[in-house]
């Protein structure tokens, strides 16, 4: 995620989301000096988010293109930024915390490797802290349209996706309430990392996390009703 905070990094990714670009065309679109662009391209290539593709027709020029992993990262960045009203130029300000993100890995591990829906993920992390007193799950929540919400969770999801520790699958439902339906799933690499984190937790913490399963098994409307009724001040957006 450090790469995303650097000058022109997100602009390059967002421009390549529109389609492959020659370096000269890319510079004309995103601006900045040639040296800055060259350095950002090198870093994005190293991250595995972009790659060169050589044309098989004259003039046989190389163009830059997003990899599948890069496409997933930039679409998630754009989706999170658009859904919560952030301008695309502000995306690079996302503050990813590896230590804090371990909470998401652990939670997904407990839930069998996946959680259905961003709203449910947010509520499970909220309840882990407020229902069971797991201070390790130190996300800061504020009232929002669908109850307690933390921007830090979105930041860390983006970071975990960029590290290939989890995947976000699904689509935006075109509805008046703007609900996003997505599945949050650990990758094989993420599952190994999550298990290591979980195995080091105290027994009491493990018991509390296991108790969260009943909330994950609820239908979303039931879970929201529970949170709204028990935590009205934290839920009023």
Nearest to 18 by CA among 73, 56, 61, 75: 75
Q: Cβ distance 97 to 104 under 8 Å?
A: no
Which residues partner with 166 through β-bridges?
Answer: 186
What would the mean pLDDT of 189-195 be, rounded to a whole number? Answer: 92
Share of the chain above pLDDT 90, in %: 24
What would the mean pLDDT of 168-183 be, rounded to a whole number? Answer: 57
Q: 99: Cβ–Cβ under 8 A, 6 or more apart, which residues?
A: none
Across 139-151, b (16+ Cβ under 10 Å) vs e yields: bebeebebbbbbb
Domains and CATH numbers, the chain: 3-75+84-91 (1.10.10.10), 96-235 (1.10.10)
Each residue of 77-106: pLDDT tens digit? 665 544 333 333 333 334 556 778 888 999
Look at residue 132 and give its three-state secondary structure. Answer: coil
Q: Looking at residue 82, what is its pLDDT?
A: 40
Distance of CA 21 to the CA centre of its chain: 26
What do you get for the CA distance between the two ends of the chain, in Å?
A: 30
Q: Looking at residue 171, what is its pLDDT?
A: 54
Share of the chain above pLDDT 70, in %: 80
Each residue of 97-156: pLDDT tens digit? 677 888 899 999 999 999 988 889 999 999 988 887 776 667 888 887 778 888 788 878
**Average model confidence (pLDDT) across the chain:** 79
What's the token pair of residue 55?
């044309």
Residue 120: burial class (beta carbons within 10 Å; 0-12, 13-18, 19+): buried
Each residue of 22-47: pLDDT tens digit? 888 888 888 777 777 888 898 899 88
Q: Looking at residue 94, what is its pLDDT?
A: 42
Q: Cβ distance 186 to 101 under 8 Å?
A: no
Q: 20: Cβ–Cβ under 8 A, 6 or more apart, which residues?
A: 53, 63, 64, 65
Look at residue 94 and give its three-state secondary structure. Answer: coil
CA distance 33 to 60: 25
Answer yes or no: is pLDDT of 161 > 80: yes
Where are the strands (E) in 47-178, listed by range?
A: 50-54, 62-66, 114-116, 166-172
pTM score of the predicted model: 0.61
Across 191-217, b (16+ Cβ under 10 Å) vs e yields: bebbeeebeebeeebeebbeebeebbe
183, containing H or E segment: strand 180-186
What's the token pair of residue 72?
């997933």
């Amino acid at each position: 995620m450090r790469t995303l905070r650097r000058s022109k990094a997100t602009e390059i990714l967002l421009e390549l989301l529109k389609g492959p670009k020659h370096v000269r065309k890319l510079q004309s679109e995103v601006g900045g000096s040639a040296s800055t662009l060259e350095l950002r391209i090198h870093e994005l290539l190293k991250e595995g988010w972009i790659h060169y593709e050589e044309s098989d027709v004259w003039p046989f020029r190389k163009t830059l293109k997003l990899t599948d992993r890069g496409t997933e990262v930039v679409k998630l960045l754009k989706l999170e930024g658009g859904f919560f009203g952030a301008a695309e130029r502000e995306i690079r300000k996302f503050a990813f915390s590896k230590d804090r993100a371990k909470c998401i890995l652990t939670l997904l591990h407990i839930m069998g490797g996946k959680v259905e829906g961003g709203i449910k993920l947010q509520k499970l992390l909220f309840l882990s802290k407020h229902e069971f007193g797991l201070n390790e799950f130190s996300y800061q929540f504020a009232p929002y349209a669908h109850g307690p919400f933390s921007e830090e969770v979105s930041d860390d999801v983006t970071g975990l996706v960029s590290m290939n520790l989890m995947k976000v699958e699904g689509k935006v439902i075109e509805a008046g309430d703007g609900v996003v339906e997505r599945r949050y799933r650990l990758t094989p690499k993420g599952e190994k990392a999550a298990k290591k984190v979980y195995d080091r937790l105290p027994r009491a913490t493990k018991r509390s996390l296991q108790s969260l399963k009943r909330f994950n098994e609820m239908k979303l409307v039931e879970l929201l009703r529970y949170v709204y009724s028990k935590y009205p001040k934290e839920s009023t957006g």
